[in-house]
Amino acid sequence: MSDMILVSVVMPCLNEEAAIGSCIEKIQNTFNNAGIDGEIVVCDNGSTDSSVEIAESMGVRVVHQSLRGYGNAYLKGFNSARGKYFIMGDADDTYDFRLIPQFLDAIINENYDFVTGSRFLGKKGLENNPLLHRLIGNPAITSLLNGLFGTKYTDVYCGFRAFSREVYELIQPISPGMEFNLELAINAGFAKLKIKEIPIQLAPRKGESKLRTLRDGWRSLRMMLLYAPNKLFVYPGMFLLTLGMLIHIAVLADFLKYEGRSLGVVTGIFATIFSVVGFQILSLGLHAKTYSWSRRFDRDNFLLRKFYKFFNLETGLLIGTSMIVGGSSVLLYLTLQWLRFNLLPLPHPEWFTFAATVVIIGFEIDFSSLFISAMSMKKVERYEVPR
């Protein structure tokens, strides 16, 4: 990196022959007018039109990414860039690259870490965004993200952003698709970076859009679920599991009665449902947090580190197997009693549901332990920086 320059503008490209020339011209004119020492890196994602030829004819460095996907293109482009600062923007001529000096000023002189455009602050040009995205998709995803992660974005899907090389290496995005933008925004919040939104105007798109509303929306939602396991899995799972076990205790202690009759049988079934479903949701949350931890998104989580000092594969298997053996022993004893009573109802059938709950959770602990162990050993694949 001895030939590092001030800024690299990175653009993903997939069949953008109608717009890429205009984008490059605006960036080059902006560099010249503002005296910016910069480069343009176009990451081609498998174009079959003349996009690559246009970019190369204008003196732009073109790199190629064979793995399809918006995020994959950016990962390759950023790892090929030589700038101290990165500007990201689409090659469809919707963003006004003449604002590059304003983005850089916010980072270099105003000491912001992560600068992103906002089409909703800019107001003008919103009509050039698809109606469904403008009224429902983007506002809904933005509101959900802000609620889950405590951020204050107005436009998390804007693809016009600026940050330093150090910030990019800190937040370490890995998403291969359109959810790449969300990952940047979420990780910037996790890293407690100083964030600024700049109002921008969206121009009409040139060429065919690559967005797939339902598919990309689901992938975005899926990624946010992974990043917010506490609110979506851990807390609801703990609530249901605790509720189920408290009901079991109340049933076993014969606290629940109606007109002098025990409510143990039916109530015990509901207790089992709450307990098992709650534990399953809780274990999903633990899986998500473990994945996040293994990817270093959540590397400073004190409670998770303490948990894994106690919990490992062997501990999990020991706990789970002990619960299976203990619960099965109770079930076997009760079954023998039932046979002795000539298959007549037992005096305390609620112990069946409690023992069944213990056995089911024991099996889940065993298999969750195996899954978590395998997942935590997974290596993180990274693109090599060109030498």
Quick one: how far is CA 239 from the chain centroid?
Answer: 24
How far is Cα 262 from Cα 254, in angstroms, rounded to an integer?
A: 7
pTM over 0.85: no
Instruction: Report the chain's mean pLDDT, rounded to a whole number.
Output: 84
- The pLDDT of residue 222: 76
How far is Cα 14 from Cα 45, in angstroms, rounded to an integer?
A: 5
How far is Cα 205 from Cα 325, in angstroms, rounded to an integer?
A: 64
- Residue 28 pLDDT exceeds 50: yes
- The pLDDT of residue 313: 80
Domain ranges of the chain: 5-227, 229-376
Domain 5-227, architecture per CATH? Alpha-Beta Complex (3.90)
Amino acid at 260: G
In terms of pLDDT, which residue wins out, 163 or 191?
Answer: 163
Distances (CA, A) of 81 to 66, 67, 88, 175: 17, 18, 11, 19
How far is Cα 156 from Cα 145, in angstroms, rounded to an integer?
A: 8
Q: Closest Cα partner for 36 from 83, 96, 3?
A: 83
Between the two ends of the chain, the Cα-to-Cα distance in Å is 8
Residue for token pair 């022993």: 329
> What confidence tens digit (pLDDT) does each residue in 222-257 have?
778 777 778 888 899 999 999 999 999 998 888 877
Quick one: how far is CA 380 from the chain centroid?
Answer: 15
> What confidence tens digit (pLDDT) does each residue in 335-359 have?
998 888 888 777 778 898 999 999 9
In terms of pLDDT, which residue wins out, 270 or 4?
Answer: 270
- Residue 38 pLDDT exceeds 90: yes
Phi/psi of residue 82, nearest 5 degrees? -115, 0
Residue 376: pLDDT band (50, 70, 90) is low
Strands 161-164 and 114-118: antiparallel
- Other C-beta atoms closer than 10 Å to the C-beta of 370 total 14
> What confidence tens digit (pLDDT) does each residue in 97-137 have?
999 999 999 999 999 999 999 988 866 545 545 554 555 56
Residue 292: pLDDT band (50, 70, 90) is low
